[in-house]
Structure 1
Amino acid sequence: MTATPPSPGASQPRPRRDELTVLIIDDEPAVCSVLVAMLSPEGYRCVPLHDGRRAVEMVDLHHPFLVMLDLMLPETSGLDVLRDIKAVHPNVIVLMMTGFPTVETAVSAMRLGAFDYLQKPLHLDEVLFRVQRVIEHTKLLAENDDLRVKLDHHRRSQRLLGKAKSFARVLDTIDVVATSDANVLISGETGTGKDLVAREIHEKSHRRGKPFVAVDCAALPDHLMVSELFGYEKGAFTGALERHPGLFEAAEGGTAFLDEITEMSTEMQATLLRVLQERQFRRVGGRDMISMNVRIISATNRDPAEAVRQQRFRLDLFYRLNVVPIELPALRERRDDIPLLAGRFLADYARHHDHPAKSISLEALDLLRGHNWPGNVRELENLIQRLSIMTPLQTIEAEDVRKVLSHESKPTVDLTECFGLPFRKARRVWLAQFEKPYLLRLLAEHDGIVSRAAAAAGVDRKTFYRLMRAHGIRPAAEN
């Protein structure tokens, strides 16, 4: 930890609240309130929870550095909650609390991984002293070189989060395949994180010090794709004023990521297959063969086997690329990972903009779990960013989520439906559907700063504010 809480009466800088979150689990609201009153003035971000059965979910969401856990809970034992937390988050520090301490319970808690014991009734000096001990312990751990390496890797992999069995298999496969140079074909719906998996394989492989170069195979026609992949010589075509290396040259020694490979024309697929078989190519307009040492990772949002049956994907190229297949599950197939991901996105957004992370209520989480997520993890991330900007209070409630989801689920107006209307009415109907999502998108892209959003829209701030008021959008400054 980079921050240390001040001792009572000391004049020291306060720790960053988004780094020092304390999860308080006690069925008595009065106890939670007392602890919040003790810790909040010292700079800690406190999250109270009265239902121990949702402890793991809240650790997933808020990533606390400390859990303060009551031993006696009505629906479940504090020791059972401790066991559940440690099974999923073994590095989270847990401080047990009880008004009826015994040697047996203390020993049991320590065996299960509790860091320390705190006896009720709670006293300010004692609470701050124990929390200070946790901070010092955490600082010592952070100085360990091995842990620092793991934390560095965690920052790279922070969006590849999940506990679901289907996603755990993906992570295991990444670890295994990263040790080889085998071609990998990643399949999964749009927004599931295929590019992140490709980068993770590269970063874990012996090629990590070399380039990772990506190309969208759906974005370019064949004549441009050839130049993009293989490069061209000066004078090869009109406008080729100098030699230009292609993707395979740029990725030499590293990894080439061919995204949406099944959208490449079958003719271009045949060219690519020949290059992969021979491991050499010519630049456009060139005569010399160039050898390549590049690992190939491909991705598609289609079912690769079905694409082969539909003759969209050459069978021989499929076999060449599909040495190790990785299929990413849709977010709706791993709904229990949503709190973990939502918590990460809230923390990332807050850290990026240097302000305290917002929290999200359990009822709001339940709504997120129930959504179908056609855009998968990318859709969830965008929604969390929008909620971080537009929610007026520090806690995102169910109603905030409901408003955003209901807005996103509204069907857009079909242009043909306006053809039978008078011009002025047709324009009003169309603009009503266009303006609000346009304004929200601009605000999201510019962190809620109206002046920047207005500049991007090409209008003055006064006009932008007027449009926001017309659609019931509150500026971030009012939030």
Structure 2
Amino acid sequence: MEARRPLPCVLLVEDQENVRQVFLNLLKRNGYAVTEAANGKTAIEQLKKKHFDLVLTDLRMEPVDGMEVLRQARKIAPETEVVVITGFGTVSGGVEAMKLGAYDYLEKPVESEKLLFIIRRAIEKKELVYKVEQLQKELREKYAFDHIVGKSEKMIDVLKIISQIASTDSTILIQGESGTGKELVARAIHENSARKNQPWVAVNCGGFVDSLLESELFGHVKGAFTGAIRDKIGLVQQAHRGTLFLDEISEMSLPMQVKLLRFLESSEVRQVGGSASMQVDVRLIAATNKDLRKAVKAKTFREDLFYRIHVIPLTLPPLRERKDDVELLSHHFLEEFNRKLNKSIKGFSKRAMVLLRNYAWPGNVRELRNVIERAVALTRNEKIQTEDLPFYDSDQRIFQSLGAGNAVISLRELEKRYIQQIMQKAKGDQKKAAEWMGISQTTLWRKLKK
């Protein structure tokens, strides 16, 4: 059963008892929890004791008037909306109250429907502001550095670097294979920078043809080309004072690279078809899954642009080079999809974890996340087993390569060959080999002694 939503709380401040009683009855009949205050002093004391969604106060009271109640409400509980009631013909008091932060004002005599409408709208605004703040908080938590999962030496080095560069305003070039988390790292840098309360604008440069990319980035004026029926502000301008993230920057054509370089050197934007230039302040973070030095040699990427964006280079390692993180990431994604899919999978079998650790992960962390989501969604087991993993069949071929195909050999011989192959792969490192096989180092030592 869905939990009953608490009634909105209103603090009613009115020194005339008969008027206060009318408002009290009206508000209670319409689903509000009401606390009464017969004067401004009592109202301020109530504000210090309890949370209210809205304060409805008369302006003319003595010795503490409604304007002072408003001032104190803004100090004590700035998230609480305030609606003031003015005497007939005293609109100036209401206007002054709105300048001090009141949501709205009503003139006596007050119409019931109008009062209820304004109160409902004020509380809806408060709830919307709260939801936005919560969303912003969740985004900050999601993109906090401690949410970038990794304990391997390579990822610890990456985390050290991004914690150092987040507070700077320097241009950053993030390089790494597809699926290594380049945008996640870029967003984390933004959310931990001085620009975190300003716009974050992400653009996939490989998703547009040249003419469209120029218009998307820099905007256009009406009539600049067929279909330009109105002026359009570009994404660069939308990112003003914030962070502009250019993903797949290597996919930009050479003519488009010239235009981007011109902007980076001048910090000025000129809309397509326009003549005026506008100053824009953005921090640039670029990303690519290509080797830009090779692209410069191949003359598919401008050398001057390369050095302009290569101020602070950051390379993200592929997942196959951070095997120590596979188990940690797998459990992280398991928790995520248990929550999202309302499941309660308790973990991974040893064999499944061995398979996850030994897989090559050509799609990197993105592929691992997708594999775990699929396994959580489809498994009927308490723990994820090898058959829940999409590359289980390829794992079966390992045994065929060990001689378990057509040749009939003993289980002991099969185990011996398997251990030899894993030891060879681990370059003689018993600790690493034991981890890959899902057994203790002592157990492996005993098996090697046989």
Q: Same fold (TM over 0.5)?
A: yes
Q: TM-score, normalised by structure 1?
A: 0.52
User: Which of the numbers 218, 222, 231 marks the counterpart of 1:234?
Assistant: 222
CA deviation map 1:304-331 (0-9, x unaligned):
2112111121111011101000000000
In structure 1, the residue matched to 2:258 is: 270
One-letter code aligned to 2:174: I
In structure 1, the residue matched to 2:238 is: 250
Q: Are 2:270 and 1:282 aligned?
A: yes
In structure 2, the residue matched to 1:155 is: 142
In structure 2, the residue matched to 1:296 is: 284
RMSD across aligned positions (CA): 2.2
CA deviation map 1:405-431 (0-9, x unaligned):
437999xxxxxxxxxxxxxxxxxxxxx
One-letter code aligned to 1:238: T
Q: Equivalents in 2 of 1:222, 1:408: separation in Å?
A: 44
Q: SS at 1:199's partner residue?
A: helix
Give the drift of 1:399: 3.4
Specify every segment of 5 or more residues in structure 1 that has no aligned partner in the other structure, as ranges: 1-148, 411-479
Q: Are 2:210 and 1:210 aligned?
A: no
Q: Equivalents in 1 of 2:360, 2:156: separation in Å?
A: 21
Q: Are 2:189 and 1:201 aligned?
A: yes
One-letter code aligned to 2:393: S
Q: Are 2:168 and 1:183 aligned?
A: no
Q: Equivalents in 1 of 2:152, 2:339: separation in Å?
A: 26
Q: Equivalents in 2 of 1:214, 1:287: separation in Å?
A: 26
One-letter code aligned to 2:142: R
CA deviation map 1:424-456 (0-9, x unaligned):
xxxxxxxxxxxxxxxxxxxxxxxxxxxxxxxxx
Q: Equivalents in 2 of 1:308, 1:409: separation in Å?
A: 43
User: Which of the numbers 167, 190, 197 marks the counterpart of 2:155?
Assistant: 167
CA 297–167 in structure 1, closer or farther in 2 if over 3 Å, else same: same
Indicate if the aligned counterparts of 2:355 and 2:395 stay in contact, CA closer than 8 A: no
Q: SS at 1:360's partner residue?
A: coil
In structure 2, the residue matched to 1:438 is: none
Indicate if the aligned counterparts of 1:298 and 1:321 stay in contact, CA closer than 8 A: yes
CA 399–352 in structure 1, closer or farther in 2 if over 3 Å, else same: closer
CA deviation map 1:258-308 (0-9, x unaligned):
111111111110111011001002111111111010000000001121121
CA 331–324 in structure 1, closer or farther in 2 if over 3 Å, else same: same
Q: Equivalents in 1 of 2:255, 2:396: separation in Å?
A: 39
Q: Equivalents in 1 of 2:169, 2:314: separation in Å?
A: 15
One-letter code aligned to 1:322: H
CA 361–257 in structure 1, closer or farther in 2 if over 3 Å, else same: same
User: Which of the numbers 299, 304, 309 marks the counterpart of 1:311?
Assistant: 299
In structure 1, the residue matched to 2:366 is: 378
Q: Equivalents in 1 of 2:232, 2:211: separation in Å?
A: 15
Q: Are 2:385 and 1:397 aligned?
A: yes
Q: Are 2:320 and 1:332 aligned?
A: yes
In structure 2, the residue matched to 1:437 is: none
Indicate if the aligned counterparts of 1:351 and 1:357 stay in contact, CA closer than 8 A: no
CA 224–373 in structure 1, closer or farther in 2 if over 3 Å, else same: same
**Percent same amino acid at aligned positions?**
46
One-letter code aligned to 2:181: G
Specify every segment of 5 or more residues in structure 2 that has no aligned partner in the other structure, as ranges: 1-135, 398-450
Q: SS at 2:207's partner residue?
A: coil
Q: Kindly indicate whether structure 1 or structure 2 has the higher relative contact order, using CA contacts under 8 Å at least 6 residues apart.
A: 1
Q: SS at 2:314's partner residue?
A: strand
CA deviation map 1:4-41 (0-9, x unaligned):
xxxxxxxxxxxxxxxxxxxxxxxxxxxxxxxxxxxxxx
Indicate if the aligned counterparts of 1:349 and 1:357 stay in contact, CA closer than 8 A: no
Q: SS at 2:361's partner residue?
A: coil
Give the drift of 1:178: 0.6
One-letter code aligned to 2:232: H
One-letter code aligned to 1:344: H
Q: SS at 1:306's partner residue?
A: helix
Indicate if the aligned counterparts of 2:141 and 2:147 stay in contact, CA closer than 8 A: no
Indicate if the aligned counterparts of 1:258 and 1:298 stay in contact, CA closer than 8 A: yes
Q: SS at 2:313's partner residue?
A: strand
In structure 2, the residue matched to 1:406 is: 393
Indicate if the aligned counterparts of 2:343 and 2:376 stay in contact, CA closer than 8 A: no
Q: TM-score, normalised by structure 2?
A: 0.55
Q: Are 2:347 and 1:359 aligned?
A: yes
Q: Equivalents in 2 of 1:408, 1:322: separation in Å?
A: 41
Indicate if the aligned counterparts of 1:266 and 1:314 stay in contact, CA closer than 8 A: yes
One-letter code aligned to 2:289: N
Q: Equivalents in 2 of 1:406, 1:314: separation in Å?
A: 45
Give the drift of 1:193: 0.4
Give the drift of 1:375: 0.3
One-letter code aligned to 2:387: E
Indicate if the aligned counterparts of 1:273 and 1:317 stay in contact, CA closer than 8 A: yes
Q: Equivalents in 2 of 1:277, 1:347: separation in Å?
A: 45
In structure 1, the residue matched to 2:335 is: 347
